[in-house]
């Protein structure tokens, strides 16, 4: 296993995991609301929901993407769609304001179950693994069969660790997400997503030239 390849893949995985962990969305809202109502342990349960929900989605996404990517034209088209999704997520990060992090009502604790349902009903999870995660995993497998596990481990470690950190911070101070520092991190995440979008676009255009 080439250390440079593994290191680059791990860096991409951790970067994407941190971005997913910090940007607002349905799962973030449930982490916050459960933490506020039931304490940081409830937020921790919600943060761990992707470990349960994402496995089958990852497998299916990789199989479908791999089948379509056998054709260079399809691979280029999927790359363009992936770039568009990354661009859209980046714009969303730049446009998000503190006011959008309103907390919903929670009837009962059942935090893990609520996190699982929320994540399964979130279309962003399916888009992410189908158009962004799958190409990384397939490229990694082409280099070395163990490398996809490096990507998955790095991504989930960063994602869940950051969600748990947010739960702990919210448990200590409910104003943490209203801080200027959080918005700065959110804007930086948007810029990072633009960079990834540019890389996807570059690869797709190169495939189109070959095709």
Q: How far apart are CA 156 and CA 55, in angstroms?
A: 11
pLDDT at 77: 86
pLDDT at 153: 95
Output the average pLDDT for the chain.
84
pLDDT at 105: 46
Residues contacting 117, CB < 8 A, separation 6+: none
If one counts the domains in the chain, the total is 1
pTM of the model: 0.84
Per the structure block, which two tokens stand in for 82?
């992936």
Residue 116: pLDDT over 80: yes
Q: How far apart are CA 151 and CA 170, in angstroms?
A: 29
What is the domain extent for residue 194?
A: 3-210
CA atoms within 13 A on the CB side of 31: 29
151-187: per-residue pLDDT in tens? 999 999 999 999 999 999 888 876 666 677 777 878 8
Over residues 94-109, mean pLDDT = 55
């Amino acid at each position: 296993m080439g250390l440079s390849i593994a290191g680059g893949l791990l860096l991409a995985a951790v970067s994407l995991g941190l971005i997913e962990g910090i940007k607002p969305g349905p799962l973030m809202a449930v982490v916050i609301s459960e933490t506020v109502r039931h304490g940081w342990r409830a937020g921790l349960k919600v943060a761990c929901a992707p470990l349960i929900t994402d496995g089958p989605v990852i497998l299916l996404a990789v199989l479908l993407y791999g089948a379509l990517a056998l054709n260079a034209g399809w691979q280029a088209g999927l790359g363009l769609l992936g770039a568009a999704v990354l661009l859209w997520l980046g714009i969303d990060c730049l446009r998000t304001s503190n006011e959008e992090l309103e907390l919903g009502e929670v009837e009962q604790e059942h935090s893990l179950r609520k996190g699982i349902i929320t994540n399964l009903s979130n279309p962003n999870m399916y888009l992410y693994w189908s158009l962004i995660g799958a190409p990384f995993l397939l490229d990694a497998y082409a280099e070395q069969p163990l490398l996809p596990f490096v990507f998955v481990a790095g991504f989930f470690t960063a994602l869940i660790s950051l969600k748990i950190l947010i739960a702990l911070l919210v448990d200590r101070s409910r104003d943490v997400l209203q801080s200027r520092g959080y918005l700065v991190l959110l804007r930086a995440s948007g810029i990072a997503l633009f960079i990834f979008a540019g890389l996807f676009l570059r690869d797709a255009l190169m495939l189109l030239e070959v095709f």
